[in-house]
Amino acid sequence: MPKSLSLLFAVVTVLLMMATAVSIAHNGWLAVLLFVLTVANIGAGFIVRARLRRREGTDSGNL
């Protein structure tokens, strides 16, 4: 995975985590929604990484 794409996933995930932390004090349902979006973003990062690795043909487990 290109470093810029990794950085994008990392920054978006951190922003979602921060928004989740802030929303806990204000609205529980919003906090749950942001938590689900955070987990989905992390999962999407793993999916994109696996697809890019498969496309390159290097299916080894190296990070």
pTM of this prediction? Answer: 0.81
Q: Are 13 and 42 in contact (CB under 8 A)?
A: yes
53 class by beta-carbon count within 10 Å (0-12 exposed, 13-18 middle, 19+ buried): middle
pLDDT for res 44: 96
Return the DSSP state at 57.
T
Task: State residue 2's pLDDT score.
Answer: 87
In the prediction, which pLDDT does 58 show? 65
Q: What are the 10-residue block averages of pLDDT along the chain, 63 residues in total?
A: 93 97 95 97 95 81 59
pLDDT for the residue numbered 63: 59
Q: What one-letter code names the amino acid at 62?
A: N
Q: What is the largest CA-CA distance in the chain?
A: 47
The answer to whether the CB of 49 falls within 8 A of the CB of 61 is no
pLDDT reported for residue 56: 85
